[in-house]
Amino acid sequence: MEPLISIVEDDDSVRAALQRILISHGFAVAAFASAEQFLESDQPYRAACLIVDVSMPGISGLRLHQRLLEAGYRIPTIVITGRPTAADRDEAIGAGVLSYLPKPFSEQALLEDISLALGQSDRQDPRLSRNGSASAVPQ
């Protein structure tokens, strides 16, 4: 099965552009307008890489990453933002995200981060927590 890249981005045009770029490079893609939509889907079970915007209505991208970690999901995460700050970058990196990309970023930078993420993604079920038991994503 092809690795699935999940995109969580509230800006329709950015989400569509990311989806087009990734599909053109042969990736399987699922895109969501909110963290809530992502959490309600089956994507936390399937995603090999997560691309998430920092600032979104409702659950922020960083909070989504933290919820997934708390539930035992180890999905390599690339955080993107149109309003980069040192504090957000430090928080994201401290929380274990793979990359923090300020918009606009190059297609090459994104593809390099995805390649790194897919190399790091677990070969096991991403639902498995550290103790080996399946976890549900907290809503």
Range of the domain at 65: 61-81+95-105+112-122
Cα–Cα distance, 110 to 9 (Å, whole number): 15
* Average pLDDT of every residue of the chain: 87
Domain-located, residue 48: no
Q: Are 112 and 106 in contact (CB under 8 A)?
A: no
Give yes or no: residues 20 and 66 share one domain.
no
Cα–Cα distance, 22 to 56 (Å, whole number): 21
Domain-located, residue 52: no
User: Which of 27-31, 56-60, 126-130 shows the lowest mean pLDDT across its residues?
Assistant: 126-130
DSSP codes of every residue in 21-75: HHHHTT-EEEEESSHHHHHHSSHHHHEEEEEEES--SSS-HHHHHHHHHHTT---
Give yes or no: residues 24 and 65 share one domain.
no
pLDDT, one tens digit per residue, over 70-100 is 999 999 999 999 999 999 999 999 999 999 9
123-132 long-range contacts, Cβ below 8 Å, gap at least 24? 125/45, 126/44, 126/45, 126/47, 126/48, 126/73, 126/74, 126/75, 127/44, 127/45, 127/71, 127/72, 127/73, 128/72, 129/71, 129/72, 130/72
pTM of the model: 0.85
Question: What's phi and psi for 45, nearest 5 deg?
Answer: -80, -25
pLDDT, one tens digit per residue, over 21-38 is 999 999 999 999 999 999
Domain-located, residue 25: yes
Domain-located, residue 75: yes
Domain-located, residue 134: no
Domain-located, residue 2: yes
Give yes or no: residues 118 and 74 share one domain.
yes
Domain-located, residue 130: no
Domain-located, residue 9: yes
| Number of folded domains that form the chain | 2
- CA contacts within 13 A on the Cβ side of 117: 26
